[in-house]
């Protein structure tokens, strides 16, 4: 049986910026400490929500190093280190390993994309050249390519490919992946509105945007399921469904950063090509935060 990197809720943590859009390292350290203190089970740094693709390589590695230092082995640190350039993905992964991460998150190739055969070649090439466990990241809405269940079944034969963050939204395909891979592949929900459903198929938790805003709640949704309290997990999943959805009323991480700023966390703006939300979306998000008692009316 392969190692399970974490169970429960790992936060796909945002990268805070100053008003000039430079990285706010001091605020980032505060956010990491806040997440650990609230029971988050893992920190996933420099992913989609962390705007990794607009970070320079130097910034990317500096953020990872800082995260590792602040966490100090209290929970696993998982570093986004994927790329559509396979060789660069290896370089970034090796630098993340040097920083001391516990695992690597590797998104499917985007823009140039690839075939299922190409995915096998891409991921095996990376896994052959790293020592840390690899978590695949399947998010077709971002990349334009989907990992098929049969491809997962081949990929999980590699000893270092241990898990996937599954965000294709297709419960039937996720069920088929679970059936084909069994204990050779840990499945994490990549969508906050599907934590409980995916865990009902054997998933071990979530890599969560929601955790940036309500880390305790995201943890509870997953942990209640792990504890066998399926009804409470389901109840919380449905209670917070509107917040899950409102955090995606614009391109991630625009809404989650806006929500955090509304809550007084002062995480700054997004980087271009992303831009701030329009007034109608802001009002809708604000109403949702008020309903959940996260800000005052």
- Residues 216-242 have a mean pLDDT of 98
Instruction: Read off φ and ψ for residue 197, nearest 5 degrees.
Output: -60, -40
Q: Residues near 48 by Cβ (< 8 Å), separated by ≥ 6?
A: 12, 80, 107, 139, 142, 252, 253
Q: What confidence tens digit (pLDDT) does each residue in 81-122 have? A: 999 999 999 999 999 999 999 999 999 999 999 999 999 999
- Residues 50-54 have a mean pLDDT of 97
Q: Which residues are catalytic?
A: 137, 165
- Residues 176-185 have a mean pLDDT of 98
Res 297: pLDDT: 83
111 Rama sector, left if φ>0, alpha if ψ -120 to 50, beta otherwise:
left
Res 155: pLDDT: 98
Please check the confidence at residue 43 and state whether its pLDDT lies above 80: yes
pLDDT band at 219 (very low <50, low <70, confident <90, very high): very high
Question: Would you list the DSSP string of the chain?
Answer: -PPP---EEEEE----B-TTS-B-HHHHHHHHHHHHHTT-SEEEESSTTTTGGGS-HHHHHHHHHHHHHHHTTSS-EEEE---SSHHHHHHHHHHHHHHT-SEEEEEPP-SS---HHHHHHHHHHHHTT-SS-EEEEE-HHHHS----HHHHHHHTTSTTEEEEEE-S--HHHHHHHHHHHGGGSEEEESSGGGHHHHHTTT--EEEESGGGT-HHHHHHHHHHHHTT-HHHHHHHHHHTHHHHHHTTSSSTTHHHHHHHHHTT-----PPTT--PPPHHHHHHHHHHHHHTTSS--
Mean pLDDT of the chain: 98
- Residues 43-55 have a mean pLDDT of 98
Q: What confidence tens digit (pLDDT) does each residue in 247-288 have? A: 999 999 999 999 999 999 999 999 999 999 999 999 999 999
Please check the confidence at residue 1 and state whether its pLDDT lies above 80: no
The reply to whether CATH 3.40.47.10 applies to domain 8-234 is: no
pLDDT band at 212 (very low <50, low <70, confident <90, very high): very high
- Residues 207-233 have a mean pLDDT of 98
């Amino acid at each position: 049986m392969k190692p399970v990197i974490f169970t429960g809720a790992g936060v796909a943590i945002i990268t805070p910026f100053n008003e000039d859009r430079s990285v706010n390292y001091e605020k980032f350290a505060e956010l990491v400490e806040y997440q650990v203190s609230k029971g988050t089970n893992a920190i996933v740094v420099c992913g989609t929500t962390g705007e990794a693709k607009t970070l320079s390589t130097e910034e990317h590695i500096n953020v990872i190093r800082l995260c590792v230092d602040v966490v100090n082995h209290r929970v696993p640190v998982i570093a986004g280190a994927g790329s559509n350039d396979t060789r660069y993905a290896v370089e970034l992964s090796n630098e993340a390993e040097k920083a001391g991460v516990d695992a690597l998150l590797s998104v499917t190739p985007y823009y140039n994309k690839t075939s299922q055969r190409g995915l096998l070649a891409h991921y095996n090439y990376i896994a052959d050249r790293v020592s840390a466990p690899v978590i695949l990241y399947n998010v077709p809405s971002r990349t334009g390519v989907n990992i098929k269940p049969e491809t997962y079944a081949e990929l999980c034969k590699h000893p270092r490919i241990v898990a996937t963050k599954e965000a294709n939204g297709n419960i039937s395909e996720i069920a088929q992946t679970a059936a084909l891979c069994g204990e050779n592949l840990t499945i994490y929900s990549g969508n906050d509105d599907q934590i409980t459903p995916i865990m009902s198929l054997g998933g071990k938790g979530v890599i969560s945007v929601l955790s940036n805003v309500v880390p305790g709640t995201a943890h509870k949704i997953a942990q209640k399921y792990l504890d066998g309290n399926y009804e409470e997990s389901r109840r919380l999943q449905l209670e917070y469904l509107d917040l899950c959805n409102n955090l995606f009323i614009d391109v991630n991480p625009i809404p989650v950063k806006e929500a955090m700023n509304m809550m007084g966390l002062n995480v700054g703006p997004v980087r271009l090509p992303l831009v701030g939300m329009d007034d109608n979306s802001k009002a809708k998000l604000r109403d949702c935060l008020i309903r959940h008692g996260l800000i005052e009316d």
